Amino acid sequence: MVRAAVLPAVGAPLEIAEIELPAPGPDQVRVRLAAAGVCHSDLSLSDGTLRQPVPAVLGHEGAGTVVAVGEGVRHVAPGDRVVLNWAPSCGSCHFCGLDEPWLCTDAAATAAVPYATRRSDGSPLYPGLGTAVFAEETVVRAHAVLPLPEGVPLTEAALLGCAVLTGYGAVRHSARVRAGESVAVFGAGGVGLATLQSARLAGADTIVAVDVSPAKEELARRAGATHFVLAPEAKRIRELTGGHGADVAFECAGRAESIRAAWSSTRRGGRTTVVGIGGKDEQVTFSALELFYFGRTLSGCVYGNSDPARDVPVIAEHVRAGRFDLAGLVTDRIRLEAIPGAFEAMTAGKGGRSLVVFP
């Protein structure tokens, strides 16, 4: 028996319920969670912005300890500390063949297959984004489990599963920020704070954090921001960057108005990377003339264009060396029952990352 936060229907409140997990089958791993981050994507799954079969156990950013492994699993064993990868690549589809595992067509397949049952009535449950970490334990595909390098705290390591990989990858792989460049980051939530830290790691010079909440300034500055402005402030960013605009802007909120503001805040020839996940009805418009005149690049970014097997060890080395502060991303440590409150805080634009810590 395992306690979990269950989404009974799209738009419905989460329910704390007892669920039954099967023993891991071939190429499966059972993990006891140490912690799970509450990501905006979980909120988007719960309200229908992103598709997810229901009833489901949400949560996709987690770390824990292996309890049991199924036949054929060789890379981890019971007792190993691991990070969960919500988008494990298959290695054989068209995009994996292009060395773009973040676009793998098979990555989300397990989210549509029941993985557990509700103890009260035996009804099937689906795993949110294939991982279902809003629970004391979960069962996942073997290649969704990454060994956690030594020297990284297990609780905070949960953030490696989404926020940190996304922010680090956006800077390192998508925008390819170079030392001395100026950067603007729109949205100082969990992913935005990870992006700020990653921009500092990359050697960015002027780093401007932009948010609607003045309460985020201290968090943003601790993460590496040299300046903080209230949104929308494209004009202010130009003033802070010699009148030209930022070399690179990151939009981490997934809103049409902030995507547009991020684009407008970059210099001619600058780069804007959209990291946040917006709704299908959010429309962003540009005139044909400005597209020509400014010569800017606008790009999407899936999971930071990261390869977790490659990037987690690199980030872990930054953590061990004190160059990346995982704990600095966490603003609230909560129990399973407090996830709805964390959703409300995200909707209100408060805090950084809430972290569910399991006893």
Q: Where in the chain is the domain with CATH 3.90.180.10?
A: 2-161+325-357
Judged against a pLDDT cut of 90, whether residue 49 lies above it is answered with no
Q: Where in the chain is the domain with CATH 3.40.50.720?
A: 166-302
DSSP line for 199-258:
HHHTT-SSEEEEES-GGGHHHHHHHT-SEEEESS-HHHHHHHTTTS-EEEEEE-S--HHH
Judged against a pLDDT cut of 80, whether residue 250 lies above it is answered with yes
pLDDT bracket for residue 324 (50, 70, 90): very high
pLDDT averaged over the chain? 94
pLDDT of residue 209: 97
Number of separate helices (H) and strands (E) present in the chain = 10, 18
pLDDT bracket for residue 34 (50, 70, 90): very high
pLDDT bracket for residue 48 (50, 70, 90): confident
Q: What CATH number does the domain located at 166-302 have? A: 3.40.50.720
Judged against a pLDDT cut of 80, whether residue 232 lies above it is answered with no
pLDDT bracket for residue 115 (50, 70, 90): very high
Rounded to whole angstroms, the Cα distance separating 325 from 348 reads: 25
DSSP 91: S
pLDDT of residue 69: 97
Fold of 2-161+325-357: Quinone Oxidoreductase; Chain A, domain 1 (3.90.180)
pLDDT bracket for residue 279 (50, 70, 90): confident
Q: How far is CA 309 from CA 102, 145, 146, 148, in A?
A: 12, 10, 7, 10
Rounded to whole angstroms, the Cα distance separating 4 from 2 reads: 6
